[in-house]
Amino acid sequence: MSGFLLEIAGLNKVYRTRGGADFAAVRDVSFQLGAGETLGIVGESGSGKTTVAKMVAGMLPATSGRIALGGKAFGKSGRSRADKKKIQYIFQDPVSSLNPRLKVRDLIAEPLKLYFKLPPGEIDKRVDALLADVGLPRDYRSRYPKELSGGQCQRVGIARALAAEPSIIVCDEPTSALDMTIQSQILELLKQLQLQKGVSYLFIAHGLEVIYSISHRVLVMKDGEIVEQGDTRSIFHRPRHGYTQSLIGAIPRIPFPAFE
């Protein structure tokens, strides 16, 4: 057994499409994630990132391959609640990922009730602590998702993931639907929470600019396969694959004509 928290080996996903044809969305993907580490997964839309993310989180069965947490491989036949608790998920669309009929308090209490046996008073204390963790005022507990901004909804999504006290959070493009300034606030929050809680992130994005500041290592995917992986600095400064180079070329540069 190696020292990695999460080990993925030879992961494959074949979707059976409606016409009956098979489509290999993820092919032979292998990587490791250490405790307290962030691995960025980057690739264009349709490259298989969400498929990998959902298989890792146990939300989608793998066609083949091994997913092991703490040296123990998950079986084929669905995960126990205790195993689900360990890997949580933050969704790309923060608003639609929240049940519109539940207040913030109940949205955050839901995973607390699912994963822990707590008396009601303790649930409310933990809800308040989680609101503070994600930078939302305490009185937001009685609001509905539609009364929150996109960024605030994503903070609730982060609080729900944290509530389970997972060792890994899969962040599937958690900032793609948000404005630039809100994006960077959410990234800062995630970084801070990692330092406080020691949680590991599998952080997915379609552009390298989001990945750079948060990832310790980066994995580049194209057409369901890994084309390159390495530590963040070497991926950015010495990309070996042409596709990675094209992603770096696509990073928007802020034009400051007055200073040129």
**Which residue in this structure is represented by tokens 């009685």?**
142
Q: Where in 24-53 is the site for ligand ADP (CB under 6 A)?
A: 25, 43, 45-51
Q: Are the CB atoms for 176 and 92 separated by under 8 Å?
A: yes
The answer to whether residue 15 forms part of the interface with ligand ADP (CB under 6 A) is: yes
Residue 65, Cβ neighbours under 10 Å: how many?
18
Looking at residue 138, the DSSP 8-state letter turns out to be: G
CA distance from start to end of the chain = 54
The answer to whether residue 8 forms part of the interface with ligand ADP (CB under 6 A) is: no
User: Residue 91: what are its φ and ψ, rounded to 5°?
Assistant: -90, 160
**Distance (Å, rounded) from C-alpha 246 to C-alpha 148?**
37
With CB cut-offs between 5 and 8 Å by kind, which of Mg ion, ligand ADP, none does residue 23 bind? Answer: ligand ADP
Q: Where in 191-230 is the site for Mg ion (CB under 5 A)?
A: none
Q: Give 127 or 226: the residue with its C-beta nearer to Mg ion.
A: 226
Give least dist CB 48 to ligand ADP, A: 4
Give least dist CB 82 to Mg ion, A: 27
Q: Give 74 or 91: the residue with its C-beta nearer to Mg ion.
A: 91
* Interface segment toward Mg ion; rule CB under 5 A; list 13-21, 50-58, 78-86, 117-125: 50-58
CA-CA-CA-CA torsion for 185, 215, 232, 69, nearest 10 degrees? -170
Pairing mode of beta strands 64-69, 200-205: unpaired
Give least dist CB 221 to ligand ADP, A: 7
Give least dist CB 224 to ligand ADP, A: 7
Q: Give 48 or 166: the residue with its C-beta nearer to ligand ADP.
A: 48
Helix 104-115, helix 150-163: angle, nearest 10: 20
Q: Which positions touch ligand ADP (CB under 6 A)?
A: 15, 17, 23, 25, 43, 45-51
Q: Which positions touch Mg ion (CB under 5 A)?
A: 50
